[in-house]
Amino acid sequence: MSTGTALQYGERHDGPPLGFAAKPVLVFWESTRACPLNCVHCRASAISEPLPGELTTEEGFRLIDEVVAFGKPFPVIIFTGGDPLKRSDLFELLNYANSRQVGFAVSPAVSDNLTAETIRRIKESGAASISISLDGAVADTHDAIRRSEGTFDRTVWAIKEALGQGLGVQVNTVVMKSNFRELPRMFHLIKELGVKVWEVFFLVKVGRGTGVEDLSPEENEAVCHFLYDASRYGVTVRTVEAPFIRRVAKQRADPAPSLSGVAVSSQMSSELLALEGEPPSKSTVGPRGTLDGDGIIFVAYDGTIYPGGLLPVTLGNLKKDKLVGVYRDAPLLRKIRSRAFHGPCGTCGYSMICGGSRSRSYAYTGDPLSSDPACALVP
């Protein structure tokens, strides 16, 4: 989405908020904390059974109505968790969203709950797609991260089954120290499977992820350069908590770019080239994307409203507050949308197209308006 020259070229913008001030693109609903898996990086520190205070079916209907209140085109709801398949009323909720003409996607865990039958029901409910996590090019890596033997094979099966039933699939990958060098082979695998959307999550140390080793700023930069290269093979590549990929994309478009992270990214891109051949198309990395509270909003299992799933700063609660009002008027979100940041992120010429990860800033400093320590431009 282009919202003007300032956003396209990274110039300073000191006027009113732009882009997503009126409504988010995505509303994430952590429909439950319950999940049969025990992943090493889980944001929610998910548990086997639902927690007390989980939104009821009627409260879930109200959440969907709140999304409708933003007006057309409605934001898309992402039913996530935990594992939304742990909710006995999931299909009631999906059918209600469909009846209100709200687009939605489902992010199930790959477990015994995800069967050919549940995939069929998700498709028939009107879901645009499902997102399935793949965190390694081989079973040893993926299963170690997911802490469940056989999950890699079940994941590949689930992707094939969903695509075979005509349901769109987005593959999600969390990138961390233990798996980032497998990214070229992961891309090769998902491309061979026929996946058209790859969303790469850059680790933020929250939940169980506090014990996982994340990448250095130079490695993050290298991964962004690799992802830019991968995005030229006909697959839509997105990142989560790595908005600096948009700055990398602009730098790559410069005839004489000044780049960092070149050595590692060259190795990864050389492997990509060997696997895929010459790239046939332009990059799918867009010049404008979302940040926590700027294009996305997150509703927790108990109705608590956060800027994003990895930024646990309470803005309100759906049980007493209107989602539209919270999103549009919360002081923190207004500051995020106007890029009122501290330190290098506040003065960076790329702040409007990037803005840094607000979740990571908060995880490291306790201040969601501080600078993103994962960015190679932050000293």
Task: Give the model's pLDDT for residue 143.
Answer: 93
Whether the Cβ atoms of residue 30 and residue 82 lie closer than 8 Å to each other: yes
pLDDT above 70 (res 44): no
Task: Give the model's pLDDT for residue 49.
Answer: 81
* Residue 374 pLDDT level (bands cut at 50, 70, 90): very high
Distance CA 271, CA 258 (A): 22
Task: Give the model's pLDDT for residue 219.
Answer: 94
pLDDT above 60 (res 45): no
Q: How many CB atoms lie within 10 A of CB 286?
A: 16
Average confidence (pLDDT) over 283-300: 94
Average confidence (pLDDT) over 359-369: 96
Lowest mean pLDDT across 119-128, 167-176, 247-256, 362-371:
247-256
Single out the residue of 202, 138, 182 nearest to residue 271, CA to CA.
182
Average confidence (pLDDT) over 258-282: 82
Whether the Cβ atoms of residue 241 and residue 357 lie closer than 8 Å to each other: yes
Distance CA 75, CA 136 (A): 31
Average confidence (pLDDT) over 145-154: 91
Task: Give the model's pLDDT for residue 13.
Answer: 34
pLDDT above 90 (res 325): yes
Averaged pLDDT score across all residues of the chain: 90
- Classify residue 280 by burial, with Cβ atoms within 10 Å: 0-12, 13-18, 19+: exposed
Task: Give the model's pLDDT for residue 2.
Answer: 27
Distance CA 144, CA 136 (A): 9
* Residue 214 pLDDT level (bands cut at 50, 70, 90): confident
Whether the Cβ atoms of residue 137 and residue 189 lie closer than 8 Å to each other: yes
Average confidence (pLDDT) over 175-202: 96
Q: What is the largest CA-CA distance in the chain?
A: 57
The residue among 210 and 267 whose pLDDT is bigger is 267
**Long-range Cβ contact pairs of 251-256 (< 8 A, separation 24 or more):** 252/225, 252/228, 252/283
pLDDT above 50 (res 218): yes
Whether the Cβ atoms of residue 212 and residue 368 lie closer than 8 Å to each other: no
Q: How many CB atoms lie within 10 A of CB 254?
A: 9
Task: Give the model's pLDDT for residue 342.
Answer: 93
Average confidence (pLDDT) over 329-343: 97
Task: Give the model's pLDDT for residue 253.
Answer: 83
DSSP 311: B
The DSSP annotation for 38-61 comes to --TT-TT--BSSPPTT---HHHHH
pLDDT above 60 (res 62): yes
pLDDT above 50 (res 12): no
